[in-house]
């Protein structure tokens, strides 16, 4: 019996990870709460109780700023978890009828074979740049998907400008919640760095104390270790996604097996960042989209540019 390997979906056997993600969700919330509690209790609150007014005022300001950072991290995390990543609308396709869709698919497949024979899997010229900007047929959904959309095997749906499925947020990161994900990484990294820095002195004091409380020592030291470890790990992710934002690429596109140069969606670092964070500066640091910007994101993601001349030449032989 012949099996069509293009229709195999091995990731469906990994969908149980969505239930594991529920545990990860609780773990992240518990970790944020623990780090916040330990930092406030051991580093900031003692300063607020100081008899020195300058120290107390500075510590109170530190409490407000630190709480704001943690609150923004938590808000961004929940926004990324709750927001829809941007699914392809049911029945979407850019063609007049099924016959036109079939002809388009066949033309692209023939062009891909020609390009592969010429450059061993690479794309050339206008056809290469247009390869990433064309609609494609998802065999798992048995439906067309817009440019830059990919099939999310964890949810079984195609997602617009899909970046990846993140088990930490129990959601797919895509067009509509990518900004929230990047903000969560940035605020979480900043919060962990601040916590690690503030807990250095309390840790030294507890280890130097002749009679430290075992529970307090363990909590403070473990909080410092976790905050330091996560700040370093998150720094790597922030740098990576910051680079992707300035290039207008997703994680999937950055590691594409057939890289396309120059990248057709690269409009310069400033414009690329505006395409992620929006044009309203008041909302840049908040995990939310202006309604008009959200509509614009969806319209752009569903727009299909005209095919290149090289494809039109192939069409004549179809």
Q: What is the 3-state secondary structure (H, E, C) of 48-99?
A: HCCCCHHHHHHHHHHHHHHHHHHHHHHHHHHHHHHCCCCECCCCCCCCCCHH
Question: For the chain, how big is the Rg over CA atoms in Å?
Answer: 25
CB atoms within 10 A of CB 212: 14
User: CB-based contacts of 174: which residues, under 8 Å, 6+ apart?
Assistant: 85, 86, 152, 159, 160, 161, 162, 163
Q: Which of 99, 93, 105, 85 is nearest to 143 (CA)?
A: 93
DSSP reduced 3-state for 134: coil
**In whole angstroms, what is the distance from residue 289 CA to residue 257 CA?**
32
For position 59, what pLDDT does the model report? 94
Element (H, E) at 166: strand 164-166
Half-sphere exposure of 299 (CA within 13 A, CB side): 6
Residue 170 carries which DSSP code? Answer: T
Q: Are 287 and 180 in contact (CB under 8 A)?
A: yes
Instruction: Report percent pLDDT > 70 for the chain.
Output: 77
Half-sphere exposure of 217 (CA within 13 A, CB side): 11
318 pLDDT more than 50: no
Q: Which of 178, 287, 196, 286 is nearest to 242 (CA)?
A: 178
195 pLDDT more than 80: yes
**Which of 10, 14, 63, 166 is labelled catalytic?**
166
Range of the domain at 46: 5-315
Which two tokens mark 181?
């994900």
Prediction pTM value: 0.84
**In whole angstroms, what is the distance from residue 80 CA to residue 43 CA?**
30
Q: Is residue 166 among the annotated active site residues?
A: yes
Instruction: Report percent pLDDT > 90 for the chain.
Output: 56
Report residue 198's pLDDT band, with 50, 70 and 90 as the boundaries: very high
Give me the number of domains the chain comprises.
Answer: 1
97 pLDDT more than 80: no
Task: State pLDDT tens for residues 221-256.
Answer: 999 999 999 999 999 999 999 999 999 999 998 887
Sign of CA dihedral 276, 281, 286, 291: negative
Residue given tokens 């900007």 in the structure block = 133
Contacts by residues 163-166 (CB-CB < 8 Å, ≥ 24 positions apart): 163/250, 163/251, 163/252, 164/250, 164/251, 164/252, 166/80
Q: Which of 257, 250, 259, 191 is nearest to 36 (CA)?
A: 191
Q: What is the mean pLDDT of residues 62-67?
A: 96
């Amino acid at each position: 019996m012949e099996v069509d390997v293009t229709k195999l979906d091995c990731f469906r056997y990994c969908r149980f990870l969505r239930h594991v993600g529920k545990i990860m969700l609780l773990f992240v919330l518990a970790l944020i709460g623990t780090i916040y509690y330990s930092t406030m209790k051991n580093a900031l609150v003692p300063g607020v109780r100081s008899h020195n007014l300058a120290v107390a005022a500075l510590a109170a300001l530190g409490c407000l700023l630190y709480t704001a950072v943690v609150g923004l991290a938590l808000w961004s995390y929940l926004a990324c978890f709750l927001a829809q990543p941007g699914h392809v609308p049911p029945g979407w396709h850019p063609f007049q009828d099924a016959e036109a869709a079939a002809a388009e698919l066949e033309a692209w497949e023939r062009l891909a074979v020609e390009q592969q024979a010429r450059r061993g899997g690479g794309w050339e010229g206008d056809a290469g740049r247009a390869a990433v900007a064309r609609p494609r047929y998802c065999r798992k959904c048995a439906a067309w998907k817009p440019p830059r959309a990919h099939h999310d095997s964890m949810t079984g749906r195609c997602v617009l400008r899909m970046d990846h499925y993140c088990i930490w947020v129990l959601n797919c990161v895509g067009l509509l919640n990518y900004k929230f994900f990047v903000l969560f990484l940035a605020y979480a990294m900043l919060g962990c760095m601040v916590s690690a820095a503030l807990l250095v002195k309390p840790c030294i004091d507890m280890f130097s104390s002749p009679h430290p409380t075992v529970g307090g020592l363990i909590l403070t030291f473990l909080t410092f270790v976790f905050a330091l470890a996560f700040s370093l790990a998150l720094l790597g992710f922030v740098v990576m996604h910051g680079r992707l934002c300035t290039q207008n690429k997703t994680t999937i596109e950055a590691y594409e097996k057939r890289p396309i140069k120059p990248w057709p969606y690269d409009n310069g670092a400033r414009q690329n960042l505006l395409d992620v964070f929006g044009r309203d500066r008041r909302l840049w640091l908040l995990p939310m989209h202006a309604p008009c910007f959200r509509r614009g994101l969806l319209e752009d993601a569903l727009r299909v540019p005209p095919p290149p001349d090289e494809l039109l030449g192939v069409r004549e032989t179809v």
